[in-house]
Amino acid sequence: MTRTSPSRQTVVITGASAGIGRAIAVEFARAGWNVAAIARGEAGLAGTIRAIEGAGGRAMAFAADVADPDAMVEAADAVAAEWGGIDVWVNNAMVTVYAPVQETTPDEFARVTAVTYLGQVHGTLAALKHMRRRDAGTIVQIGSALTYRSIPLQAPYCAAKAAVRGFTDSLRSELLHDRSRIRLTMVQLPAVNTPQFGWARSVLPREPEPVPPIYQPETIARHVFHAAMTAPREMWVGASAWKAIVGNMLVPGWIDGFLARNDYQGEMTSRAANRQRADNLHEPVDTDPGSRGRFDDRASGGVMAADPRWLKLGLAAILGTVAGTMLFATRAEGKAEGKAAERRRLRHRL
């Protein structure tokens, strides 16, 4: 279903049938954009089209798996042909598995990697194909605080998000080398109230939940839209994300122990797991749940976000000062020991 409007800007969003992706699609629609939604579930995509058009945007949808690179190229080509180009591409699609490492199969590791990491690579390559022709456009990678600080019970997902950051940093340097005007930004998110906790694969004894504090997807979408407009190198959303990322920079060993003691329980509700429910690892759970999950009563509608460059510079200055002080002290100690040794030699000669 399409509506042509060459004067409007165009965004493509992966994982747009529910959760954060649905909320991002609506946020761009409210600003009057053409919005192309990519996801596997047709029922969810139909709901996203209605939401986009209801918010004032024009919609196009593709039932496709981001793990398929050819499907991403085909979608990008169709969007560019219909609307004249791609201004913003948001890589948001993900899947996860809740399980200890030793209970996660190689197939599950491969699938999470194919969607959550390689899906962002495939989307980026499809976007670059069209953005390079105009030397313009913005690619937004949806990351997580778990990009920097892995947690137990989600090793495949944490590893995939860390891989996205490594890929993004490499590409950024290449774009700078080429003096490209294509912009690249990564948004690191906190826990969000989305439907994923009701359809993620899990072997846990109780139903999974986001680790509090929890935020609503609509407020996250506003920050993603802002990141697409301003393209900071990174944007960290939510105090919990800041604490996790900075804490891991400063005291990673302490956080290892803290997570070992607390995070197993923090990732599970008190409700016993339903072993019969479907999961979306390999096939979509083809429903239309909307943007929000089942944690409305615990989710906040307000969250701060900022470019962390000044914090990083401050930390670098502090660490540099500490390192310089330690080096000075070490050298001073060495000189003192040298003088003491020289005095001992003199006394021995006397």
CATH code for the part of the protein at 10-307: 3.40.50.720
Q: Exactly one of 98, 117, 148, 157 is catalytic; which is it?
A: 157
In tens, the pLDDT along 19-45 reads 999 999 999 999 999 999 999 999 999
Residue 81 CB neighbour total at 10 angstroms = 10
Q: Which two tokens stand for residue 69?
A: 């690179």
Question: What confidence score (pLDDT) does residue 2 get?
Answer: 41
The domain locations on the chain are 10-307, 317-350
Residue 49 pLDDT class (50, 70, 90 cuts): very high
* Neighbour-count burial of 291, counting CB atoms closer than 10 A to its CB (0-12 exposed, 13-18 middle, 19+ buried): buried
Is residue 157 annotated as part of the catalytic site, yes or no?
A: yes
How far apart, in whole angstroms, are the C-alpha atoms of residue 15 and residue 130? Answer: 20
Q: How far is CA 220 from each of CA 25, 93, 112, 270, rounded to the nearest angstrom?
A: 12, 15, 23, 26
Instruction: From 264, 139, 289, select the one nearest 211 (Cα to Cα).
Output: 264
Question: What confidence score (pLDDT) does residue 4 get?
Answer: 44
- Residue 166: helix, strand or coil by DSSP? helix
Q: Say what the pTM is.
A: 0.86
Whether 238 and 190 have beta carbons less than 8 Å apart is answered as: yes
Work out the angle at residue 10's Cα, subtended by the Cα atoms of residues 167 and 65, and round it to the nearest 5 degrees. Answer: 50
Whether 202 and 97 have beta carbons less than 8 Å apart is answered as: yes
